[in-house]
């Protein structure tokens, strides 16, 4: 069924009120929409700047029905929101992405099985449901990374294990609470680099994408994204784009989707798996796509709004090579336990710096407080300015 496009002035909604919902809300408001956020936190970054903030739990029937009745369309900013919340909303309003796509992205075991079904290579892995299953884990998966199949993000719910004893101990340590925590053990791959593709797929199946992003992580959390034309060899870029589009199409996906990839170092593992392996998907705008606000002529957040409102999807054009640095709470806590305001004036004195702070009151180690994107005429210049900004902020180089 085709829907007419939703005119500005209507209310669009989002489940979750963090920084992704905040930047999405900015994009929606720029296009003249009103925004509604459902998030239990009265101080949530997106709730603070939206027209309507419903501060109820994600599964609260009354909160969900208020959101559905007020909004012409609703999306989610994170995949850990129960798929049943989206399913409930779907009874009364337009929802994208579909609950089924979120259900797949929510569970690493389902997700991996889905990628295999699409013919896209994944890390060798085994799903471990209970202690007995530990004995049948094949040797070649060690050293590996044990991950909970659900509720992981920013490297949380992950343990690196070298031996069977470490695996047994890590599996036991991840068993918190009364219900068994299903885990997946992935072979630790020799990574040459990591990259991601952010795409947007419309209700009619039209698919556009941001330029490919190169990502560097620190302690399992994205630290730096760099984007410039021809960052990777053409055939690798095409392979990643093709895989991402195939995954989106197979999920009948509507909205913005991020697909994360590992680039494998040359050697025996690469000979078996090939140079490109899919890691995971995020059914939403992604941290590695934040640069698009400042470096592209249409951002990942505007694309999400356009998908929801059935508006046309133009192909994003990168107008400036860029470097994005994540700003974690550690920047505020560099000199001890008492938070200190970083020297923003010094950072903003640098050319091409676009600072984004998410309005979170309390800096904590590992907490995403903001990011900055440096745009420049060349990637070399962007890197040089980003290095200066990193020095001012005490970020590791
Ligand atoms: P996020 O949601 O922030 O993307 P996450 O907690 O879902 O992260 P992953 O993307 O699975 O976790 O892993 C985080 C990082 O750990 C990866 O980007 C990569 O640097 C490293 N990593 C994860 N799995 C593997 C693997 N099998 N081999 C080598 N490195 C890995
Ligand atoms: Mg990841």
Q: How many degrees, rounded to 5, is the angle at CA 74 between CA 72 and CA 80?
A: 170
Which range, of 64-78, 81-95, 358-372, averages the lowest pLDDT?
81-95
Tell me the mean pLDDT in the region 382-397: 95
**335 band by pLDDT with thresholds 50, 70 and 90:** confident
Per-residue confidence (pLDDT) for residue 157, from 0 to 100: 83
Q: How many other β-carbons are positioned within 10 Å of the β-carbon of residue 229? A: 9
Pocket flag, ligand 1, residue 153 (CB < 6 Å):
yes
By the 8 A CB rule, do 158 and 147 touch?
A: yes
E strand or H helix at 37: strand 34-38
**pLDDT higher than threshold 70 for residue 346:** yes
pLDDT at 24: 98
The 3-state DSSP class for residue 14 equals: strand
Task: Supply the DSSP string of 301-352, one letter for each residue.
Answer: HHHHHHHHTT---PPP-B-S-EEEEEEEGGGTTTTSSS-----HHHHHTSTT
Say yes or no to pLDDT of 2 above 70: no
For residue 70, pLDDT over 90 is answered with yes
Lowest mean pLDDT segment, chosen from 12-26, 39-53, 139-153: 139-153
Taking the mean position of all CA atoms in its chain, how far away is CA 362? 22
What's the distance, Cα to Cα, between the start and end of the chain in Å? 51
Pairing of the two strands 255-264 and 276-282: antiparallel
How does strand 73-76 pair with strand 144-148?
Answer: unpaired
| Percent over 90 (pLDDT), the chain | 89
**181, 133 Cβ separation under 8 angstroms:** no
Q: Following DSSP, what letter does each residue of 129-178 receive, concatenated? A: -SGGGGGGS-GGG-SEEEEESSS--TTTTEEEE-SHHHHHHHHHHH--SS
Residue 30 pLDDT exceeds 70 = yes
Q: Is 186 in the pocket of ligand 1 (CB under 6 A)?
A: yes
Q: Which two tokens stand for residue 108?
A: 């690493």
Closest CA to 18 of 301, 216, 337: 301
Per-residue pLDDT for 341 more than 90? yes
Residues 6+ apart with CB under 8 A from 338: none
Dist CA 314 CA 170 (whole Å): 46
Give residue for tokens 């992003």: 213
* Residue 253 φ/ψ, nearest 5 degrees: -75, 140
177-205 pLDDT tens trace: 788 899 999 999 999 999 999 999 999 99
Q: Is the confidence at residue 1, as pLDDT, over 60?
A: no
In the numeric block, the tokens 């962007």 are attached to 382
Q: What percent of the chain has pLDDT over 70?
A: 99
pLDDT at site 153: 72
Instruction: Compute the distance from residue 106 Cα to the ligand 1 centre, in Å.
Output: 15
CB of 256 closer than 8 Å to CB of 200: yes
> 168 in ligand 1 pocket by Cβ < 6 Å?
no
Residue 189: name the closest of 115, 263, 107, 116 by CA. Answer: 263
The answer to whether the CB of 333 is under 6 A from ligand 1 is: no
- What pLDDT score was predicted for residue 211? 98
pLDDT(375) > 60: yes
Q: Ligand 1 pocket, 281 CB below 6 A?
A: no
Point out the ligand 1 atom lying closest to the alpha carbon of residue 153. 6
- 339 CB under 6 A from ligand 1? no
What is the pLDDT, as a whole number, of residue 156? 77
Nearest ligand 1 atom to the CA of 156 is 6
pLDDT at 215: 98
* pLDDT at position 184: 96
Q: Indicate if the pLDDT at residue 384 is higher than 80.
A: yes
Answer yes or no: is pLDDT of 248 > 60. Answer: yes
Confidence tier at 137 by pLDDT (50, 70, 90): very high
Least confident stretch, 19-23, 99-103, 384-388: 99-103
- The mean per-residue pLDDT over the stretch 226-242 comes to 96
pTM above 0.85, yes or no: yes
pLDDT reading at 351 higher than 60? yes
Indicate if ligand 1 lies below 6 Å from the C-beta of 145: yes
| pLDDT at residue 176 in the model | 85
Residue of the CA atom closest to atom 15 of ligand 1? 220
Distance CA 214, CA 136 (A): 36
Is the CB–ligand 1 distance for residue 5 below 6 Å? no
Q: What is the pLDDT of residue 80?
A: 77
| 152 within ligand 1 shell (Cβ under 6 A) | yes
Alpha-carbon Rg of the chain, whole angstroms?
21
Question: Whose C-alpha lies nearest to ligand 1, atom 3?
Answer: 154
Atom of ligand 1 nearest to the CA of 154: 3
Q: Are 323 and 226 in contact (CB under 8 A)?
A: yes
pLDDT tens for residues 151-175?
877 677 899 999 999 999 999 999 9
Q: Whose CA is nearest to atom 21 of ligand 1?
A: 220
Ligand 1: which residue has its CA nearest to atom 14?
220
- Reported as a single tens digit per residue, the pLDDT across 309-327 is 999 999 999 999 999 999 9
Three-class DSSP category at 231: coil
String of b and e for 188-199 (b: at least 16 CB within 10 Å)?
bbeeeebbbbbb
Question: What DSSP assignment string belongs to 51-105?
Answer: SEEE-S-TT-HHHHHHHHHH-SEEEES-TTS-HHHHHHHHTTSEESS-HHHHHHH
Give the lowest-confidence range in 99-103, 141-145, 300-304, 314-318. 99-103
What is the 149 CA–ligand 1 centroid distance (Å)?
A: 13
């Amino acid at each position: 069924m085709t829907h007419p496009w939703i005119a500005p002035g209507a209310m669009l909604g989002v489940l979750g009120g963090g920084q992704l919902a905040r930047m999405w809300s900015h994009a929606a408001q720029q296009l003249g929409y009103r925004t509604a956020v459902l998030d239990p936190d009265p101080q949530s970054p997106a709730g603070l700047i939206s027209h309507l903030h419903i501060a109820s739990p994600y599964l609260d029937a009354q909160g969900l029905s208020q959101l559905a009745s007020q909004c012409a369309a609703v999306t989610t900013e994170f995949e850990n929101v129960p798929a049943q919340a989206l399913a409930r909303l779907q009874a009364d309003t337009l929802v994208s992405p579909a609950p089924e796509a979120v259900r797949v992205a929510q569970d690493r075991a389902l997700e991996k099985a889905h990628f295999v079904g699409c013919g896209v290579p994944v890390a060798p892995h085994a799903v471990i449901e209970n202690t007995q299953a530990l004995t049948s884990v094949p040797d070649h998966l060690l050293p590996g990374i044990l991950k909970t199949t659900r509720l992981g993000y920013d490297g949380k719910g992950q343990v690196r294990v070298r031996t069977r004893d470490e695996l047994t101990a890590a599996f036991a340590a991840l068993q918190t609470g009364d219900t068994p925590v299903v885990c997946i053990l992935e072979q630790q791959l020799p990574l040459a680099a990591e990259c991601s593709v952010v795409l947007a797929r419309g209700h009619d199946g039209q698919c556009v994408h941001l330029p490919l992003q190169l990502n560097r992580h620190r302690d399992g959390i994205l630290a730096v994204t760099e984007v410039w034309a021809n960052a990777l060899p053409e055939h690798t870029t095409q392979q990643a784009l093709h895989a991402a589009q195939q995954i989106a199409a197979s999920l009948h996906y509507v909205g913005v989707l991020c697909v994360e990839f590992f680039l494998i170092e040359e050697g025996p593992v690469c000979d078996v798996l090939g140079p490109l392996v899919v890691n995971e998907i995020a059914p939403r705008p992604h941290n590695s796509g934040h640069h698009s606000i400042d470096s592209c002529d249409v951002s990942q957040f505007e694309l999400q709004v356009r998908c929801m409102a059935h508006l046309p999807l133009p192909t994003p054009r990168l107008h400036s090579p860029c470097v994005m640095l994540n700003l974690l709470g550690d920047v505020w806590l560099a000199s001890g336990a008492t938070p200190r305001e970083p020297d923003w004036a010094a950072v903003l004195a640098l050319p091409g710096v676009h600072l984004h702070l998410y309005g979170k009151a309390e800096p904590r180690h590992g907490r995403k407080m903001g990011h900055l994107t440096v745009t420049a005429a060349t990637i070399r210049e962007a890197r040089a300015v980003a290095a200066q900004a990193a020095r001012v902020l005490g970020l590791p180089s």
